[in-house]
Amino acid sequence: MNRINLLFRSFFGLLAMSFITLQLANAAGELPDFAKLFEDNSPAVVNISTLASPKSRGSQAYGPGSEEIPEIFRRYFGVPAPEMPSDKPQPASLGSGFIVSKDGYILTNNHVIEGAEKIIVRLHDRSEKIAELIGADKRSDLALLKIDTKENLPVVRMGNSEKVKPGEWVAAIGSPFNFEYSITKGIVSALNRGLPNEPYVPFIQTDVPINPGNSGGPLFNMSGEVIGINSQIFTRSGGFMGLSFAIPAEHVEWAVAQLKEKGSVTRGWLGVGIQEVDRDLAESFNLGKPMGALVSYIVPGGPADKAKFQPGDIIVKVNDREITRSSSLPMEIGVIMPGDKAAVTFIRNGKKKVIQVEAGELPDEMGQTPERSPKKTVGKNRLGIQAEDLNDDYRNKLQLKDDIKGVVVTGITTGVGRNIGLRQGDVITDIYNTRVSSIKEFKKVVGDLPKDRSISMRVIRRNQSGYISFRLTE
Domains of the chain: residue spans and CATH:
32-265 (2.40.10.120), 268-361 (2.30.42.10), 385-470 (2.30.42.10)
Q: Using H for helix, E for strand and C for coil, what is the string for 59-99? A: CCCCCCCCCCCCHHHHHHCCCCCCCCCCCCCEEEEEEEEEE
Q: Is 186 helix (H, G, I), strand (E, B) or coil?
A: strand
Where does the pLDDT of residue 370 fall: very low under 50, low under 70, confident under 90, or very high at 90 and above? very low
For residues 215 and 96, is the Cβ–Cβ distance under 8 A?
yes
Beta strands in 390-463 (DSSP E): 407-412, 427-431, 434-435, 455-461
Q: Is 438 helix (H, G, I), strand (E, B) or coil?
A: coil
Phi, psi of 250 (to 5 degrees): -60, -40
For residues 208 and 75, is the Cβ–Cβ distance under 8 A?
no
Burial of 238 (0-12, 13-18, 19+ CB in 10 A): middle
**Highest mean predicted confidence (pLDDT) among 38-47, 415-424, 447-456:** 38-47
Catalytic positions are: 111, 141, 215
pLDDT, residue 119, reads 92
pLDDT, residue 238, reads 66
Q: For residue 89, give the nearest of 58, 54, 64 by alpha carbon.
A: 54
Q: For residue 230, give the nearest of 302, 151, 313, 172 by alpha carbon.
A: 172
pLDDT, residue 404, reads 86
pLDDT, residue 421, reads 79
Where does the pLDDT of residue 66 fall: very low under 50, low under 70, confident under 90, or very high at 90 and above? very low
Work out the mean pLDDT of the chain and round it to a whole number.
80
Q: Which residues pair with 293 in a beta bridge?
A: 276, 315
**At residue 74, does pLDDT exceed 50?**
no
pTM of the model: 0.66
* Residue 31 to residue 26: CA distance in whole angstroms: 9
Residue type, 297: Y
pLDDT, residue 414, reads 65
DSSP label of 341: E
**Number of other residues whose CB lies within 10 A of the CB of residue 171:** 21
* Residue 368 to residue 462: CA distance in whole angstroms: 7
**At residue 289, does pLDDT exceed 70?**
yes
